[in-house]
Structure 1
Amino acid sequence: MLITAQLRDSVKLPGGDALVNGFAFEGRGDGSCRALLRKGRELQVYDLYELFAGERTPAAVFPVPWPGWEHGVHSVSPDGSFAVFSGQRAVRAVGVDGATLWEYRHGCWAPELGHAHTGDDQEACGGFEHGSCRVSDDGRLVWAHVVMGPEEGRNGQECWVVLDARDGRELARLRLDSAAAGSHHVSHPDGIHMGLCIGMGQDGILLHWARWNGETLTGWDLNATMDRILADVHAELPGFLTVEHYGADLQLHTLDGAVVSEAAPEPADDEEPPYWDYSCGFVDADTVIASTVESDEDPERARHWLLDARTLETRGTVRYPTGPVDSYVRPLGDGTWLTYDDSSATLHRWSEATS
C-alpha cells in the first residue's frame, strides 16, 4: 500500500544531514526539537519549529572548547543557557558567553601509544573513539559516558556517570563492560529514565537503562539477549524501539527489555531481502517510520515505511509528491518527520497527506 506524504515545510540548512544521519537532533519530553550543528569552532543551536517558521538566526551559539576534537555527542540545557560537550579527556559545561562553567576530567578516549599528554588543553589524540552526554529534561543532571584514567587506577574502564548540572560534581556512577567506538543517549519522556547505547563496531552493541532518584542510581543492561541499537521512545508508549545491529528487524520493548512486537522489512518480488537503516522512530503514538535506503541502493527504489507503533505491522510505504526521496528519516513525534536533500542542502518536514 502507498501512503502519500504532504510537504509541510522546507528550509536551507547546510550541515542538516546530521539531523537524519547523525546525532545533531535533540528532542525533549516537552515536545521541543532542536538541531545542534557544529559549524567550525561553534555549536549552533536551532529550534526546529522556529527555523521552519522563518527564524534563521540560531537560538544559541556556543564556542566549541576543543576545536581540534571532532567527535563526541553533545547536549544543550532545556532553557538553552549552557551546553555540555563530550570531549576526548573531559566533559565541559559552557555558557552562551563562552565561559567554562565547570569541567569533569576523565581518561583519554583514544590514547596513542607512546603519546604523553603535555597538559595542553587543545591537544587531541588521533583516534575516533568517543563518549556522549545528555542534559536531563529538567536541566538538573548531566548523564555522561566516560572512560577512567590511570590516576583512578582503572585506566580504560568505561563508566556511566551522573553529574550535578550546576557544578559538574559526580553524584553516582555505573561501571560498564564495554570498549566503545562511540555512544549516544536517549532520554525517556517520563523524565526519570535514561538510555545509553554503546557501539563497539564489529563487536556489537550494548544497551543500558538507568534511573536516578536523587540518592540511588539504579541501572540494568539488556545485553544478554540483545545486539541492538536504541532508536527512540515515545511518551504514550510503555517502552522503547530498537534496530537489530545489522538491520534484520525492528523491535518494540518494555523497559525491562521484553519484546512486545517485531518486524522485518518486506522484500519486493525481484530483490534480495532488504534491511532496516538505524535511523527510525515514532512519528506519533500510533505510527513508526523506518527506512531501507542503504539496502535499496538505487535512489529510485529507496523506501520509507510506516508501521503501526504497537504491533509494528506494515501500514504501507511512503509516496512523496516530489518523487523518490533517498534520505534517511528523523521523526519528530508530533505526526511529522524530516528528510534531507544533500544536493540542495535542504531540510524537509513531512506528514501524511490529509486527503
Structure 2
Amino acid sequence: MSITAHPRHSVPLPGGRALVNGFAYESRGDGQRRALLMHGHELEVHDVHEVLAGERAPTAVFPLPWPGWDRGVHSVSPDGSFAVFSGQRAIRAVGRGGETLWEYRHGCWGPEIGHPHSGDEQEVCRGLEHGSCRVSDDGGLVWAHVVGAEADTGAGDGNGEGEDEKTWGTERWVVLDARDGRELARLPLDSVAAGSHHLSHPDGVHVGLCVGEGQDGVRVYWARWDGEKLTAWDVGTPADRILADVHPRHAGFLTVDHYGSDLRLHALDGSVLATAEPDHAGDEPLGWDYGCGFVDADTVIASTVDSDDDPDAGAHWLLDARTLETRGPVDYPARPADGWVRPLGDGTWLTYDEESETLHRWSASAS
C-alpha cells in the first residue's frame, strides 16, 4: 500500500541540489540542521528551518581560502563563529571576518607522487581526490581525513607517539584541537580515497568516517576521543558499504551496499541488526540508491533505482526503523524532479527540483 506524501513547504533555493544530493547538509545532536552552500568564492551557511520559512539571507558567510579548490567536505562550528575547510594540502580554520585562525598542513591529494609545487598556496594540482573534516558537536575538536606527507610518522597507539614506517601518501584520520589546530591524535588508514565524508553521532562522542575508493569499494570507520586516547574500529569485511545516516536517538546507523543490493541497520560496533533488500518494479530488479536515512526515530526513507539507473523508474520507500520492513512506496501529488531525498529526523524529508531550483519539504502526515 502506498503512503501519501503531504507537502509542507516549497521554497526557491538556487544551488540547493547539494543540500539533498551531496555533502552540503550538516546536522548536529542539538537539532541544528544547516545547509553549507557554495556561492562564488564564498561558503554560505543557512539554517534549514529558516530557509523553509522563507529566509533567504545566510546566517554566516566565509570566504573560501583557496578559490580554485572546489572539492573537499567542509564544516562549521556549532555557534557559527568559524568554518573549517578541507583543502588539497591543508585543513584551515577561518573566522567570520575571513581571517585565518590556524592551519594544519598535510600531504597533497593530487595524484602525482612526488610532484613539485610552485610555492603558491592557490595552486591546485590535477586530480579529483579529496578529504573531509567535521567540527565536533561541542565545538572543541576537528576531525579530519587527510593524506600524509612524504616522510610521515604516525602513532601505533593513536596518540601521536612512536614512529611508523615512512611512506608517501598514507592516509590518516586526525583529531585536532579546534582552538589552534594542534594534533591530538591520529589513526593511520588503509584506504585509498577518491573522497570522504563525516557523520557525528547524536551522543556527541562518536564520529563516523566514510571513505569512498571509487570502483574499488567503500570503507566505514567509527571512533571516539576521550581526551587521552583515540579508540577506533572499522565496519565489517568486505569493506564495501556507504555510511548513510545515524539514528537520532540510539546507537544505530544505516549503510547501503556499494552496488545497492541491500540496506543495513547496524549497532555502533558494526554488528547487523536488520537488513532490507529492495523491492521489484514488476519483473524489473531494483537497487537501493545512496539517498536514505531516518525520517524520525521510527521511520527510514530510502530511494531505489532500476537496473538501468532510469530516474523515471526511481521511487521512495518508507521502512520501519527497527526492522527495516517495508511500509510502502511514497506517493507524491507531483513527482519530485530529482530522485534524491534528504530526511531531517523530525518527521519530514526534503527533495529538490533542479529545473525550478526549488526545495520541497514533505511528511507522511497532513499535520
TM bucket normalised to smaller = over 0.9
Aligned-partner residue type, residue 350 of structure 1: W
| Counterpart position of 1:343 | 355
After superposition, give the CA deviation of every residue in 1:135-187 in whole Å (9 maximum; x if it has no partner).
Answer: 00000000000011114343201000000000000000000001100000011
Aligned-partner residue type, residue 186 of structure 2: R
After superposition, give the CA deviation of every residue in 1:6-47 in whole Å (9 maximum; x if it has no partner).
Answer: 111111111111111110000010111000011110001100
TM-score, with structure 1 as normaliser: 0.96
Q: 1:57 to 1:331 in 2, by over 3 A?
A: same
2:282 match: secondary structure: coil
Percent identity between matched residues is 71
| Counterpart position of 1:274 | 286
Question: How far is the alpha carbon of 1:290 from its aligned partner?
Answer: 0.5
| In structure 2, distance between residues paired with 1:294 and 1:125 | 37
Gaps of 5+ in 2: 153-165
Deviates most, 325-334 or 207-216: 325-334
| Counterpart position of 2:191 | 178
8 Å Cα contact 1:72/1:85 also seen in 2 = yes
Question: How far is the alpha carbon of 1:325 from its aligned partner?
Answer: 4.8
8 Å Cα contact 1:193/1:210 also seen in 2 = yes
| Counterpart position of 1:287 | 299
| In structure 2, distance between residues paired with 1:30 and 1:293 | 33
> For 1:13-24, what aligned pairs fall within 5 Å after superposition?
13-24=13-24
Q: Does 1:12 align with 2:12?
A: yes
Question: How far is the alpha carbon of 1:111 from its aligned partner?
Answer: 4.2
Question: How far is the alpha carbon of 1:225 from its aligned partner?
Answer: 4.1
2:280 match: secondary structure: coil
| Counterpart position of 1:196 | 209
Question: How far is the alpha carbon of 1:227 from its aligned partner?
Answer: 1.3
Question: How far is the alpha carbon of 1:321 from its aligned partner?
Answer: 1.2
8 Å Cα contact 1:17/1:342 also seen in 2 = yes
> For 1:32-47, what aligned pairs fall within 5 Å after superposition?
32-47=32-47
Deviates most, 6-15 or 100-109: 6-15
Aligned-partner residue type, residue 347 of structure 1: L
TM-score, with structure 2 as normaliser: 0.93
| Counterpart position of 2:78 | 78
Q: 1:144 to 1:55 in 2, by over 3 A?
A: same
| Counterpart position of 2:321 | 309
Say which of 205, 219, 223 aligns to 1:210: 223
1:202 match: secondary structure: helix
Aligned-partner residue type, residue 192 of structure 1: V
| Counterpart position of 2:2 | 2
8 Å Cα contact 1:230/1:242 also seen in 2 = yes
| Counterpart position of 1:89 | 89
| In structure 2, distance between residues paired with 1:156 and 1:269 | 48
1:183 match: secondary structure: strand
After superposition, give the CA deviation of every residue in 1:100-148 in whole Å (9 maximum; x if it has no partner).
Answer: 0000000001143673112111011011101000000000000000011
| In structure 1, distance between residues paired with 2:114 and 2:202 | 45
| In structure 2, distance between residues paired with 1:50 and 1:113 | 45
| In structure 2, distance between residues paired with 1:141 and 1:114 | 31
Q: 1:296 to 1:306 in 2, by over 3 A?
A: farther
Q: 1:324 to 1:132 in 2, by over 3 A?
A: closer
1:219 match: secondary structure: strand
8 Å Cα contact 1:204/1:227 also seen in 2 = yes
| In structure 2, distance between residues paired with 1:2 and 1:116 | 58
| Counterpart position of 1:150 | 150
8 Å Cα contact 1:35/1:46 also seen in 2 = yes
| In structure 1, distance between residues paired with 2:293 and 2:249 | 13
2:101 match: secondary structure: strand
> For 1:45-84, what aligned pairs fall within 5 Å after superposition?
45-84=45-84
The CA RMSD over aligned residues, in Å, is 1.5
8 Å Cα contact 1:300/1:324 also seen in 2 = no
| In structure 1, distance between residues paired with 2:311 and 2:208 | 33
Q: 1:209 to 1:324 in 2, by over 3 A?
A: closer
Q: Report the count of equivalent residues.
A: 354
Question: How far is the alpha carbon of 1:238 from its aligned partner?
Answer: 2.7
| Counterpart position of 2:161 | none
| In structure 2, distance between residues paired with 1:224 and 1:253 | 14
Aligned-partner residue type, residue 292 of structure 2: C
8 Å Cα contact 2:93/2:101 also seen in 1 = yes
8 Å Cα contact 1:240/1:255 also seen in 2 = yes
| In structure 1, distance between residues paired with 2:96 and 2:167 | 34
Aligned-partner residue type, residue 342 of structure 1: E
